[in-house]
Each structure stands twice: as C-alpha cells, then as structure tokens.
C-alpha cells in the first residue's frame, strides 16, 4: 500500500459561491468527500496548511509547505498539494528549487471549477494526481492538470477559464494521464544523493516589464527596495535607449552581487537571446547580468529568489547556481 499526504491550501477547488463571489471555504475532509472510492492500494492522509485564494499565496506559504513536507517526508510515499490555479506555477517552480533531489513525488494540482459543482474538473485532477503520486516511478516536483504532467519549473497558466489551463513552456510534458494509466514521455529527473530542503528565499524581488517609451525615473526606487530585478524585455531581449545609461550607473553604485538583474522576455515561447540584436549585445561588458534563455518567467523569478536567499554569495557564485539545471528548468545555456 502506498501512503499519500494531501496538503490543502484553498483555491478554486475548495471554493463555494458567496454573495461576494467564489471563496475558498471547504476543508480537506469536505473536499475528499466528493471523491469516489480510490481502492485499497492507496492510503490518503490530509493536512490543512491554509485556506486562501492563491492570489494571496506568497513566499511565506512556499516555506511553510517546505517545512511540512520535510517534517513528513519519511512517513509518506508521495505528496499532493491542492492549490489555487492563479499562482500555482510560481509555487511549483519555487518548490522545485526549495526541495531538490526528491526521490518522492510532490504534485501540485487544483481546478478551474469548485469540486462541489456538478460539472467540474476537480475530481479528475485530484484522482490523476493521487495516481501519479502513488506510482513508484514518480519523483520530484510536478504540476498535474487536465491530464498533463508538467515539470514544476516549466508550468505556466495560459488559459483563464478553460480546463486545459496549464502549458509546459519550452519543454515537453513529462507524462500524460490517460484512462487511469500513466503514459510517460520523459523519465523523472533524479540526482544522486539525499533530498535537499532549503528554508530561505530573498523576497525582495521585482518584475520590471518593459513598455514602449518607458523611462528610467523609476529605476532608483526599484533598486532601493529590491535586490533581484527580473526584466521582462521585448522579443529576444534588450534594454531601450531611454534607460540603458541610468541602469548602468545604478549597477555600479552597489557592491557586486548585492543587486542582480535577470534578463528575460515577455514572449511566452522560445526564450531570449540577447546576442541577437545590438540592443541586447550592448549590455554585455557594461554590467553583470543573468539571462533566462529558455526558462519561463515563473522559474527565473523564483530561482533568483532562492539563490539570493543564500546570503553572502559573490556574483560568480550566483551565476553558477543560476545556470545549474534544476528539474528541467534550463536547456539552451
């Protein structure tokens, strides 16, 4: 018999209709009461971590999940986290860095419709996740939704309302859940050595999305308040004339490694390559930076938070960690 610990955090799957709209109210036992009998091969245990709309989930909840999983790691064969869809990709990416080399599956799932509704995707997503978490060939952090098994660092919510809400960005799906079976496309990534848990992140991270005509007047305040600046640039990447000089001056004002810029792209698929155009190439040599390449935004954002949480690192050390592949997060570098 395989034992699975199900962690509940709220989200649509736990929501009921109220006069103010959908609110996560149902607890773990209430949610499981809607599932059919799963048989004698799997034993489920539950733990209510929180009950929030995932809009309100942040790094503190990621660290709480890490604490709970570490505390229970040797008691269970796998873990299923029920989570709201809006920020589930961030949590999946964050847990990929905070819990590395796990020989046990850590599955995130949720739904686009509450489980108590007559027509809902919640039951299928939960059953698929339980089945995958109970399989001995499953390892590491992944997200399961609408039959897709996606590496935790590659998931992005790409549909607002549809049941096929999540896509695997710049990387194939790991597996598919079809008619009660797991069809594996890519073997789970398992490294040698024991599971590693990390309990620190740097929350002073900011996403700076470039827009046509953007000025540099906001840069000084951003640098004052944040240590990790992830720049969502246009196309394959670059910095516009309107802010390049001030950005270079600001980077020189701070000690090396205390402020880190990650260059990524607003384009969902195919990634960045700053070497393509002059607006990208001119950055090289003017200040140190990191490039996300084929990483999706959620992975790049949470990875630099994890790295910068390890205090006292030099920029070369930060760079080495950022370009170290974790849970299929980076291919092109």
Residue 311 pLDDT: 85
For the chain, domain boundaries: 2-197, 205-322
DSSP lists the bridge partners of residue 48 as 8
Residue-level pLDDT, tens digit, the chain, 333 residues? 899 999 999 999 999 989 889 999 999 999 999 998 888 899 999 999 999 999 999 999 999 999 999 999 999 999 999 999 999 999 999 999 999 999 999 999 999 999 999 999 999 999 999 999 999 999 999 999 999 999 999 999 999 999 999 999 999 999 999 988 999 999 887 767 899 999 999 999 999 999 999 999 999 999 999 999 999 999 999 999 999 999 999 999 998 889 999 999 999 999 999 988 888 898 888 899 999 999 999 999 999 999 999 988 999 999 999 999 999 999 976
For residue 45, report the phi and psi dihedrals to the nearest 5 degrees.
Answer: -120, 155
Residue 245: strand, helix, or coil = helix
Is there a contact between 160 and 114 (Cβ–Cβ < 8 Å)?
A: no
- ∠285-263-108 over CA atoms, to 5°? 150
Q: How many CB atoms within 10 Å of residue 225? A: 9
Angle between helix 88-98 and 297-308 (nearest 10): 40
- Predicted model pTM: 0.96
The CATH code for residues 2-197 is 3.40.50.1170
For 232, the enclosing helix (H) or strand (E) is: strand 228-233
**pLDDT tens for residues 195-228?**
999 999 999 999 999 999 999 999 999 999 999 9
Is there a contact between 133 and 170 (Cβ–Cβ < 8 Å)?
A: no
CA–CA distance, 133 with 142 (Å, rounded to integer): 10
Residue 12 a catalytic site member: yes
Residue 280: strand, helix, or coil = helix
Do 205-322 and 2-197 fall under one CATH topology?
Answer: yes
CA–CA distance, 142 with 148 (Å, rounded to integer): 10
Residue 191 pLDDT: 67
- Which tokens in the block code for residue 116? 């108590």
Is there a contact between 4 and 80 (Cβ–Cβ < 8 Å)?
A: yes
Is there a contact between 303 and 97 (Cβ–Cβ < 8 Å)?
A: yes
CA 177 to chain centre: 21
Task: Confirm or reject CATH 3.20.20.80 for domain 205-322, answering yes or no.
Answer: no
**Given 9, 12, 85, 87, which residue is catalytic?**
12
């Amino acid at each position: 018999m395989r034992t699975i610990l199900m962690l509940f955090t709220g989200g649509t799957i736990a929501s009921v209709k109220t006069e103010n709209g959908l609110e996560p109210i149902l607890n773990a036992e209430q949610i499981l009461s809607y599932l059919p009998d799963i048989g004698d091969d799997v034993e489920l245990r539950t733990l209510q971590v929180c009950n929030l709309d995932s809009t309100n989930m942040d790094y503190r909840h990621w660290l709480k999940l890490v604490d709970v999983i570490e505390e229970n790691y040797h008691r269970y064969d796998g873990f299923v986290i029920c989570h709201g869809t809006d920020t589930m990709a961030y949590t999946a990416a964050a847990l990929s860095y905070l819990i590395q080399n796990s020989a046990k599956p850590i599955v995130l799932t949720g739904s686009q419709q509450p489980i108590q509704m007559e027509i809902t995707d919640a039951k299928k997503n939960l059953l698929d996740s339980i089945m995958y978490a109970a399989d001995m060939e499953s390892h590491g952090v992944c997200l399961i939704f609408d039959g897709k098994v996606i590496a935790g660092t590659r998931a992005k919510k790409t549909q607002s309302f549809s049941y096929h809400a999540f896509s695997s960005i710049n990387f194939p799906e790991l597996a598919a859940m079809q008619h009660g079976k797991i069809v594996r496309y890519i073997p789970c990534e398992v490294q040698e050595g024991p599971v590693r848990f990390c309990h620190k992140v740097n929350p002073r991270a900011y996403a700076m999305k470039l827009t046509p005509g953007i000025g540099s007047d906001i840069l000084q305040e951003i640098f004052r308040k944040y240590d990790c600046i992830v720049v969502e640039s246009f196309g394959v990447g670059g910095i516009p004339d309107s802010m390049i000089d001030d950005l270079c001056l600001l980077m020189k004002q701070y000690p090396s490694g205390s402020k880190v810029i990650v260059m990524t792209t607003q384009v969902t698929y195919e990634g960045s390559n700053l070497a393509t155009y002059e607006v990208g190439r001119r950055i090289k040599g003017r200040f140190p930076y990191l490039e996300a390449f084929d990483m999706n935004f959620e992975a790049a954002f949470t990875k630099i938070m994890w790295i910068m949480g390890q205090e006292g690192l030099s920029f070369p050390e930060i760079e080495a960690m950022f370009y170290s592949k974790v849970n299929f997060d980076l291919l092109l570098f």
